[in-house]
Amino acid sequence: AAPKLQDAKLFRQQAYVNGKWRDAASGETIQVTNPASGEVIGTIPSMGAAETREAIEAADRAWPAWRAKTAKERANILRTWFNLIMQAQEDLAALMTTEQGKPLAESRGEVAYGASFVEWFAEEAKRVYGDIIPPHQGDKRLVVVKQPIGVTASITPWNFPIAMITRKCAPALAAGCPVVIKPAAETPFCALALAELAERAGVPAGILNVVTGPAKEIGGELTSNPTVRKLSFTGSTEVGKLLMEQCAGTVKKLSLELGGNAPFIVFDDADLDAAVEGAMMCKFRNTGQTCVCANRIFVHDAVYDAFAEKLTAKVKELKVGSGFEEGVGQGPLIGPEALAKVEEHVADATAKGAKVAVGGKRHELGGTFYEPTVLTGVTPQMKVTDEETFGPVAPLFRFKSEEEAIELANATQYGLAAYFYARDLGRVWRVGEALEYGIVGINTGIISNEVAPFGGIKESGIGREGSKYGIEEFLEIKYMCMGGL
Ligand code: ADP
C-alpha cells in the first residue's frame, strides 16, 4: 500500500520530463514493492529511449538560460530546495522506508545527509574560481575559466534513494548543468518526490528530469546520445564497466562510484569497545547494503577472541523487522537476489570451515529478512574475501603482524573505503598511508559527509563526490590565451 504522507503530493507515480508529470508513451507501468512486506506500493511509467531522448533534448534547450544565471541565483534555488527537503523530512523518510526497507531513523538520517549536499553545493556554486597564469611571453595573458560541462546524466542505486541523487544533481545544478536522472527501479518514489520539491523550489522546466523504466533502454540512450556530456553513476562495478564502454563512443566525462570490498582492521592496541561500535555501524547499517560497509574484518590474533565475543554480544541485541517498528535496527534485504547472495556466501564460508557465532540463516520473519551474522575462523579461500556480500554478515579473519594486515587489506581490485582501529601514532600514520583506498576511517566506522571527498580508486571508481572537489566533476576547464597585447 502507498505510504500515508502529510503532503500527499510527494507520492508521485509519474515521471518528470521537461517540467511535466508524464506517463510512458506506451502507457505501460512497472510495479514497485515494499521489501519488508512484498506488497505493491504503486507504479511508475515504463519509459524507454524515446522519452529519454525527449528529456535530454529538453535539458539541452533549458541549459543556456540556466548557465546564464548568476551563481547566486542558482544558489538561491538550491537553498530553497534544501529547505523544502528538510521540511519534508518525515514524509521523505516514510517513503524511503516503504520502498527501501531501512529503519525509519536511518531514513531520516539519509534525508538530512542527502539534503546536506544541496546546501553545500548551493554554497560552492559561488566559489567556482579560475586562474590567471603568469605568462611565458610578455605580450600574452593567460586566463583559465571553468564552465558547466553541459547536459548530464545520473544513474543511481537503491541503497541510498535520496543521497545518491542529491550528491550528483546538486553539484551539477550548482555548476550550471541540467540533469537527466534514472533512479533505481526499486526506489523511484524518493527520486520523484525530490523532483516535486525541486519544481516547487523554482528549478526551471527541463533542468531536472526523472525518467523511469527499464535500465538498459534508458541507459543506452543516456550513454550514446552525444548531447549528454557527462555521466555520473553509482552502482555495481559490473554495470559501471559496461556504462564506461558505452560512453566511449561519445567520449563522455565519467564519475563512477562502484563496488567496494572494505577491510576493517582491528590492531592489538585498539580500543576494542570502540572498534566493536565502529564495526556495528559500518557493517550492519542499511542491512549491510552500502558500498562502504566493512566486508572483511581483520582482527589481530591477540585480541581476536575478545573482539569476536564483544561483537557477537552486540549483534545479538540487534532487532530485525519492518523499518517502521520501534527499536528495529535492521530491515529486510532489498530483494531475493540479495538474499541468495548472502546465503551463498555464508554457505561457502561454513563449508570451508568458518563457524557461525550468531545468525547464519534467514530470519523467522521470512521474506528477505536475514539474521545479523558473525562468522569466525574465516580464511582468504572463502568467497567473502573477494566478493562484496552486501548483507549483514561480519566475517572475522585472523592476522599476526601489521605487514600481514596491510597486505591482506590491499589484496583486492577494489579501493573505496577502509577502516582500522589502533592507538599507536606511528602505526596510525603507517597504515593510513599504506592502505590503497580512496577513503580511510581511523578509529571510526562513519566516514560519509558532504564536506569531505567521497570516492574510490582502482576498480571502485573514478572521481569524487561532495567536498570542494565534487563540483569540479561538472565543470570543464577553458584556457584563454590572449596575444598581441
Ligand atoms: P545494484 O547492485 O546496486 O542494483 P546496479 O549496478 O545493478 O547495482 O544498479 C545501479 C543502477 O544502475 C540502477 O539504477 C540500475 O537500474 C542501473 N543499471 C543496471 N543495469 C544497467 C544498464 N545496463 N544500463 C544502465 N543502467 C543500468
Ligand 1 probe mutation, 239, 241, 291, 293, most atoms within 8 A of CB = 239
Residue 438's CB: how many other CB atoms inside 10 A? 22
pLDDT in tens, 169-207: 999 999 999 999 999 999 999 999 999 999 999 999 999
Angle between helices 104-124 and 71-87 (to 10 degrees): 170
Q: Is the CB of 239 under 6 A from ligand 1?
A: yes
Residue 143, φ and ψ in degrees, nearest 5? -125, 135
Confidence of residue 150 (pLDDT cuts 50, 70, 90): very high
- In this prediction, residues 374-401 reach a mean pLDDT of 98
In this prediction, residue 158 carries a pLDDT of 98
| pLDDT at residue 47 greater than cutoff 90 | yes
| pLDDT at residue 447 greater than cutoff 90 | yes
Question: Could you tell me how many residues make up the chain?
Answer: 485
387 is catalytic: no
Q: Is the CB of 216 under 6 A from ligand 1?
A: yes
| pLDDT at residue 324 greater than cutoff 90 | yes
| pLDDT at residue 119 greater than cutoff 90 | yes
In ligand 1, the atom with minimum distance to the C-alpha of 219 is 25
- In this prediction, residues 114-127 reach a mean pLDDT of 98
Considering only CA atoms, which of 427, 424, 443 is closest in space to residue 276? 443
pLDDT in tens, 420-430: 999 999 999 99
pLDDT in tens, 100-112: 999 999 999 999 9
Considering only CA atoms, which of 153, 238, 155 is closest in space to residue 459? 238
Q: Is the CB of 435 under 6 A from ligand 1?
A: no
In this prediction, residue 400 carries a pLDDT of 98
pTM: 0.98
In this prediction, residue 372 carries a pLDDT of 98
Q: SS3 helix, strand, coil % of the chain, rounded to 5? A: 45, 20, 35
pLDDT in tens, 197-249: 999 999 999 999 999 999 999 999 999 999 999 999 999 999 999 999 999 99
* Distance (Å) from CA 214 to ligand 1 centroid: 10
Which residues lie closer than 8 Å to 361 by C-beta, 6 or more apart? Answer: 346, 370, 371
Residue nearest to atom 25 of ligand 1 (CA): 219
- In this prediction, residues 257-286 reach a mean pLDDT of 97
Catalytic residue among 99, 186, 257, 388: 257
* Cα dihedral 186, 190, 193, 198 sign: negative
In this prediction, residue 292 carries a pLDDT of 97
In ligand 1, the atom with minimum distance to the C-alpha of 155 is 14
Considering only CA atoms, which of 195, 207, 206 is closest in space to residue 14? 195
Percent of the chain with pLDDT over 70: 100
Mean pLDDT score of the chain: 98
| pLDDT at residue 157 greater than cutoff 90 | yes
Residue nearest to atom 19 of ligand 1 (CA): 215
In ligand 1, the atom with minimum distance to the C-alpha of 159 is 3
In this prediction, residue 42 carries a pLDDT of 98
Residue nearest to atom 2 of ligand 1 (CA): 236
| pLDDT at residue 1 greater than cutoff 90 | no
In this prediction, residue 454 carries a pLDDT of 98
Confidence of residue 2 (pLDDT cuts 50, 70, 90): confident
Cell 561483537: give the residue: 311
Which residues lie closer than 8 Å to 156 by C-beta, 6 or more apart? Answer: 164, 165, 168, 181, 182, 183, 184, 191, 233, 234, 235
Residue nearest to atom 23 of ligand 1 (CA): 216
* Distance (Å) from CA 336 to ligand 1 centroid: 16
| pLDDT at residue 314 greater than cutoff 90 | yes
| pLDDT at residue 138 greater than cutoff 90 | yes
Whether the complex's predicted ipTM surpasses the cut of 0.85 = yes
| pLDDT at residue 123 greater than cutoff 90 | yes
Ligand 1 probe mutation, 30, 99, 155, most atoms within 8 A of CB = 155
Cell 603568469: give the residue: 134
Q: Is the CB of 378 under 6 A from ligand 1?
A: no
